[in-house]
A and B are shown apart, each in its own frame.
Chain A
Amino acid sequence: QQQVKQSPQSLIVQKGGISIINCAYENTAFDYFPWYQQFPGKGPALLIAIRPDVSEKKEGRFTISFNKSAKQFSLHIMDSQPGDSATYFCAPGTSYGKLTFGQGTILTVHP
């Protein structure tokens, strides 16, 4: 049973463009919705996270949107830069529980 579905698998955008990655989940008990960024050979690093009591959170160029009724949340990267090229994972979880990782999205930003 696949609890978390992330799309697309890969994404290519031009510098300055907008990158959008989506995550759909099934477990209604999830109450923590983070996005992680991972560079090759490194561990994931928290990019931005949201709680279910808000529908949107913005931190710099990164925005997370949350749709509780649709059980989806998304990551928007504005003004995408070559340095943003990495693998992105959604990993929803429960308070004091564990995270469930999506399949990952390989983002390539062309200069």
Chain B
Amino acid sequence: DQQVKQNSPSLSVQEGRISILNCDYTNSMFDYFLWYKKYPAEGPTFLISISSIKDKNEDGRFTVFLNKSAKHLSLHIVPSQPGDSAVYFCAARRSGNTPLVFGKGTRLSVIA
């Protein structure tokens, strides 16, 4: 049973346009959500996070939106750059010493 789902395995966007990566979750106990970016031959790196008490968090070109009623979050990258081409993982947790639960990832390709 996959609790965090990234239904788009891949996404292709033109440089300068907006990239929107989506993530759905099933566990209503999740209260904190994170996005990680992974380049080939490297480990994932933390990108941005959001607490369930918020519905938006922004950091430079990256914005994460959370819709608790729909159990859905999205990552917006504006404007997209070729260096953003990577695999993006959505992760979620619930409070307490429980591990992060990751989605399967979405491969973003930003075309120059």
Q: Is B one of A's binding partners? A: no
